[in-house]
Amino acid sequence: MSRYRGPCFKKIRRLGTLPGLTTKSPRDRNDRRNQLGSGKKSQYRIRLEEKQKLRFHYGLTERQLLKYVRIAGKAKGPTGQVLLQLLEMRLDNIIFRLGMAPTIPGARQLVNHRHILVNGRIVDIPSYRCKPRDTITAKDEGKSKVLIQNSLDSSPHEKLPNHLTLDPVQYKGLVKQIIDSNWVGLEINELLVVEYYSRQT
């Protein structure tokens, strides 16, 4: 399946708030209509919706998410928590969480267009896995800094997660440590996602 490029509201109405997908929120009347139309959900549907929520928030294809689930399953620790750590430590998500981009697709575009440096080197792979002590900065060009400044000005983010620090004057972010599960940017039951994939095999 390819990456989703359709209407954002359609997914938000079905799955709930997806801060990584869009900064907008649906109208109240649409929410009410959705609540009225939702009857009792099967266990399969509940697991599917949690999986879809994770997929659309982080902007992943089905194949990419399945790959992350398999990597998490082979790692030490609870599979669900490891999965969220892998997704949160992606470069595009780190840029979004720092407030350098309004959404994860916006952060992905910054990376693809070579506006971002990691430890002083251009990285144009959005799925690049950041590590503790990595520094993320804007390329030393006017256009790169203007794009990031616009995001910092227009969408003041909530308190930064405790694994990140930001110097907005120098357009510089620092990854201090692996993210703690309490600071994940999405309300999600990761165990249901793991269950979904375990029942598919």
Instruction: List, in order of start, the domains of the chain with CATH numbers.
Output: 8-86+183-198 (1.10.1050.10), 90-177 (3.10.290.10)
Determine the pLDDT at residue 41. Answer: 81
Whether 115 contacts 95, CB under 8 Å = no
- List the single range of 10-24, 112-126, 143-157 with lowest mean pLDDT: 10-24
Q: Average pLDDT, whole number, for the chain? A: 83
Q: What is the pLDDT of residues 85-108, one digit of tens each?
A: 999 999 999 999 998 998 899 999
Amino acid 141 reads E
Determine the pLDDT at residue 182. Answer: 78
Share of the chain above pLDDT 70, in %: 78
Whether 15 contacts 56, CB under 8 Å = yes
Determine the pLDDT at residue 186. Answer: 81
Determine the pLDDT at residue 31. Answer: 47
pLDDT band at 19 (very low <50, low <70, confident <90, very high): low
Rounded-to-integer distance, Cα 49 and Cα 197, Å: 12
Share of the chain above pLDDT 90, in %: 49
Long-range interactions of 91-95: CB distance < 8 A, separation 24+: 91/116, 91/118, 91/123, 91/125, 91/126, 91/127, 91/128, 91/129, 91/130, 91/136, 92/59, 92/126, 92/127, 93/20, 93/58, 93/185, 94/130, 94/136, 94/164, 94/173, 94/175, 95/136, 95/173
Its pTM stands at: 0.82
**Helices 190-198 & 79-88 angle (0-180, nearest 10):** 110
Burial degree of 66 (CB within 10 A; 0-12, 13-18, 19+): middle
Burial degree of 40 (CB within 10 A; 0-12, 13-18, 19+): exposed
Residue 52's CB is within 10 A of a number of other CB atoms, namely 19
Q: Give 165-194 as a 3 state SS string.
A: EEECCCCEEEECCCCCHHHCCCCCCHHHHH
Determine the pLDDT at residue 88. Answer: 93
pLDDT band at 140 (very low <50, low <70, confident <90, very high): confident
Residue 70 pLDDT exceeds 50: yes
Most confidently modeled range among 11-20, 33-42, 77-86:
77-86
The mean pLDDT value for 30-42 works out to 56
Residue 38 pLDDT exceeds 90: no
